[in-house]
Amino acid sequence: MSKTEQRISTLFFDLDGTLTDPREGITRCYQYSLEQLGYPYPTQAELVQYIGPPLRCGLPKLLGSEDEELIDAGVRHYRDRFSQVGLFENEVYDGIPELLASLSNAGFGLYVVTAKPAVFAKRILSHFNLEKYFVEIYGPELNGRFDDKTELIEHILREQGFQPAETVMIGDRASDIAAGKANGTRTLAVTYGFGDMEELTGAEPDYICPSPAAIGELAAEWPGIQTESAGP
């Protein structure tokens, strides 16, 4: 069976920029963190580029330092605000609830695979009543374990016993695509999030979709469990 004919059963969804738009919360929390440390902070528009990668990747660049104590302090300040206010300064993209309901009803196993700590991701998805569509929500631990999404996906595939060829990693940044490809999954880039077209095409995903509705239309064409379970 060729790759295009291979059964697809499992979908990994990134969170920020794929399911929800966290622009307001993340950028304001970065500003708060830098302010608390006595550093000047960029505008919200300038901070958009830091949405997606883990805090411990973004903060060293913003601080101009690799000092671990300083970075840890920045993480604490960020999370102080994020845990109380920032995680709710967020919006679900139009069409996402309908997409998730359709995919779930079709029989796909849906999982969140995010660079955001799992404890926060679960609160966000619960707040927006999206957690019911997912079998499990995966993200790094607060101590930084699994900050690298490539390692996180490797862990999930091993823990769940998924076949990479039957799995699609869906995200809005090149790092999502690279992490999926490194683990042998198929990859789908969405263009409505924070990665621009140059970034996403450069990552060479298997599929590119401009909207949640387009993901649903594409998934309807995949050889998957929803077609295999149908009667004669």
Count of C-beta atoms within a 10 Å radius of residue 147: 18
Q: In terms of DSSP H, where are the helices of the chain?
A: 23-36, 44-47, 55-63, 68-84, 96-106, 118-127, 149-160, 174-182, 197-202, 212-219, 225-228
172, 193 contact by CB (below 8 A): yes
For residue 58 the two structure tokens come to: 């973004």
Please identify which of the residues 14, 16, 147, 172 carries the catalytic annotation. Answer: 14
Catalytic site includes residue 16: no
Strand partners, 4: none
For residue 212 the two structure tokens come to: 């949640």
Catalytic residues: 14
